[in-house]
Structures are given as structure tokens and as C-alpha cells.
Amino acid sequence: MSISFPTRLVWRGDERYEQTRRETLWHAGLPNRFPAVIVQAIDVNDVVAAIHLARDRGLQLSVRSGGHSWAGTFLRDNVVLLDISRLRDFSIDREAMTGSAQPGLKGSELDKILMAQGLWFPTGHCTNVCLGGYLLQGGFGWNGREYGPACMSVIGVELVTAEGEVCYADEKQNADLFWAARGAGPGFFAVVTRFHIKVYPRSLVTMNNTYVYPAEVFEELYRWAHEIGRATPAEIHMMLLRDDSASTAGPITILSATAFAGGEEEARATLSLFEACPARKRAVVAEVNRPTTTVELTALGTDRHFDATKRYVADNIWTHATFDDLLPGLQQIVGSFPPAPTFMEWMNWGYDHEPPRQANMAYSLEDDFHFSLYTAWDNPADDAKFVGWTTERLRQLEPLSTGTQLADENLINRPVRFVSDENLRRLDALRTRYDPQGIFVSWLGRP
């Protein structure tokens, strides 16, 4: 079978190749991994043809939907790299409270579309994250403690299999593929071309408290947040950030708490908890009870961390360890912190209430707290130094960790569990069944 897309195929050796490869990753730390060809799909037919191309040439296939992978997981040597970022169609059925979106649509774009209709979906924290990778790996977004990971709100997927077959999967048909599509991340053995989702009524009020604390309050602030974390209401989204780029006066820690409520009075009452923080009087900045939107929070609160001219590595752990057990490792991190815009994030995720019912899906690993490092630098000669620093800091915390999440993984350097052991065995069995020739690449590392 001869496949030819002269305007959408870029082979290695073409004059456009390196620029096209460069444009697949959002930051400057482009890995030295070189696909044989990059296919820029514009429709499902291109996806089918790309799979046949890989099969005909005896190549594996990797998939890129938005390129916000820290590790450039989709960049592999001598593969067909299928870029589906141009698949961006969407539709909303307000009466049915459902929608559909292709993987190249950005979560921030979907959020704006839904906001105009008073609707909601738990989109991600970063403006440029597309839905494809976000939903496949789980989806840790706004108000996630109330709605669960975003993949729980996926009710069906349209996909193309390793045989090049176009099909639909949900809980009733092709259920194994649907199970795997919610949590397998870059290890999924098919190409999702459309997600079908549930949407929800939007909270009438979104309100935020932000406090900036000097570095010396670090231990007191983290200890307090750790102690109250599980007890905070489900509709509070709480994060702590070590973010030196936000200050010219030295290292700082930012406490951000966002309430999703039915009215302003309810939101203010919910956020009053943070005014009771023992370190409150030491905050150098406090913005309290500020009405906002997730569109604004995403643009102002998270995007400024991401400088596309820098090289990055990310790594993360889930944990329910006590703060006293975590403290020595955290002290090592803050005591040797690289320059801005490197940042450290702590996210409250656990529940002191009935959590959202977990669906039957590959996604299976979470815990009370999520802790992550995002290290940035300029010089390629420093790659080993900063990748090593990040990897070793998180490796030292492994005895206190229950695993990692795939959105910010560092599996190529620290291969640890990202789904339950049982679900990993099932994913392996399903890969053998649905992709016996190994057309699709798997994770960059695994336990």
C-alpha cells in the first residue's frame, strides 16, 4: 500500500525537518531523538494513513496532540511521529449536558467556550495544554477534588486502532479500549481522534485568596497546609508554590486557594479558613476574596511559570506521608534550589469526605498530596546537572511516595509506578491483544 501526503509529510533529511521537529515541543530542551517522518494530520483519514505508513515501513508510531510534554515523550528515534494538533473540532449539547472535542483543542479554549454558556469541565492549569495528552493521562485540573480527574468525565472516545480501524469505545462497546484510554497516557495503543465528555453547571462564583510569604515561613506554612489539607472542603483548590520568579526580594512561597461556590457569601465563608493560618500576619502580600475565573487563573497564575526559551525537566510524587517524614527531603530541595523560573508545587488532593466515585479505568493512582518540581535552565551543557538534581531530589523521597502521575513524569530517568500494579498488568495484556506487532510506542520508562 503506497501512502503519500506531500504537503503534510516531513521526512528526516528534508530542509523543513529540523524546524518542524523543533516546533513539536513547547520548551527549548528538545531531546536528541529523531523521528523518521513527521505526519501533520488534518483529519481522521490522515490518522488512518499514518498508521498504515508505519505498518508498511516497519516503523513504530508515536502521537503528539499539543506538545506540552516536559520530557518530549512523543519524540522517539526512527518512528512515524503523528502530530494531531490540527484536529480541533468541538461541539456542545447544552440540553444533554454533553460535548465532544478533538485532541488538538486546548483546555483553555474549551473553558472559554463553556464559560460563555454557563457550563464547566475540569480543564487543566496551563493555557497551552491540549486535551489529548491531558485526558489520556488522567487530567489534574481546576476543582479536581470535587469532580475527580478529568478523565472521569470522559464518556466515550472515537479512535483509530493499530490495524487502522476507526471505531467508537465507551463502557458498553469496545470497553477494554475505553478503559485503557482513561489513564494509559503516552502508553495508549490507539489514537484518540475525539473525546465525548460530560459537562456540568458552572459555579456561580469563583473566588481566590493568594498570599505571598517570605522563605523563612516555609516550614510553618507547609506544615499547617499539610495538617488541614484533607479537612478542607472539596470545592477548595489549594496549592503552595515556591516561585522565585514572582519576587525581586528573594525566595518566596505562594499559597493560593480557590473556592468554587454558589454565591459570594458562601465563597468568602469557605475561604475564611486561610485567614486563620498561624503565619497569616507574616504574609508580605495578601489578596483576599478576589472574584476571578479559571480562564484568568490559568493565564495569570500558572502561565508565567513557563518560559519557552528555557530548558525544563519535571518530576513528581504522590504521597500521604507525615510532614515530619517529608521535611528533611523538602529542606534539601529548598536549600539547593536552582534559579528562577524553577518552581516547586504542592497540591492538596486528599479527602476528608466521600471522594468522587472512581470509574472503571486504567487511571488508578492518587494520594493525599501531589508534590512536583519543575527545573529550568538555559545552557545545554547544564542538562546533566539540573536533570540529575531534580531526579535525585525526588528519588530521595521515593520511600515516602506511592507513585507518580503521568502529566509531569520523569520516567526516562526515574521509572516508578504510575498506575496500580494490577492495572499495569492489564494494560500490558491489552497492548498484546490490540497491538500485537507493537506499532505504538510505549512509555519512556516503567517500573
Q: Is the pLDDT of residue 408 over 60?
A: yes
Of 398, 444, 443, 379, the C-alpha closest to 29 is 379
**pLDDT attached to residue 305:** 76
Calpha distance 69→361 (Å, rounded):
22
Q: Classify domain 205-408 by CATH number.
A: 3.40.462.20
Amino acid at 68: H
Buried b (16+ CB within 10 A) or exposed e, 68-86: bbbbbbbbbeebbbbbbbe
16 burial class (0-12, 13-18, 19+ CB within 10 angstroms)?
Answer: exposed
**pLDDT attached to residue 306:** 86
Q: Per-domain residue ranges for the chain?
A: 9-83, 90-201, 205-408
Of 166, 169, 135, the C-alpha closest to 152 is 135
Looking at residue 256, what DSSP letter applies? Answer: E
Q: Which of 107-121, 233-247, 405-419 has the least mean pLDDT?
A: 233-247
| pLDDT digits 0-9 by tens, 67-83 | 899 999 999 999 999 99
| pLDDT digits 0-9 by tens, 365-407 | 999 999 999 999 999 999 999 999 999 999 999 999 999 999 9
Cα–Cα distances in angstroms (integers) from residue 209 to residues 147, 244, 286, 301, in the given order: 21, 19, 7, 12
- The CATH fold of domain 90-201: 3.30.465
Mean pLDDT over 358-364 rounds to 91
**pLDDT mean across residues, the chain:** 95
Mean pLDDT over 355-362 rounds to 80
Are 39 and 9 in contact, with CB atoms under 8 Å apart?
A: yes
pTM of the shown model: 0.96
- The CATH fold of domain 9-83: 3.30.43
Q: Name the H helices within 78-174.
A: 107-115, 131-137, 144-147
Q: Look at strands 98-101 and 79-83 and give their pairing.
A: unpaired
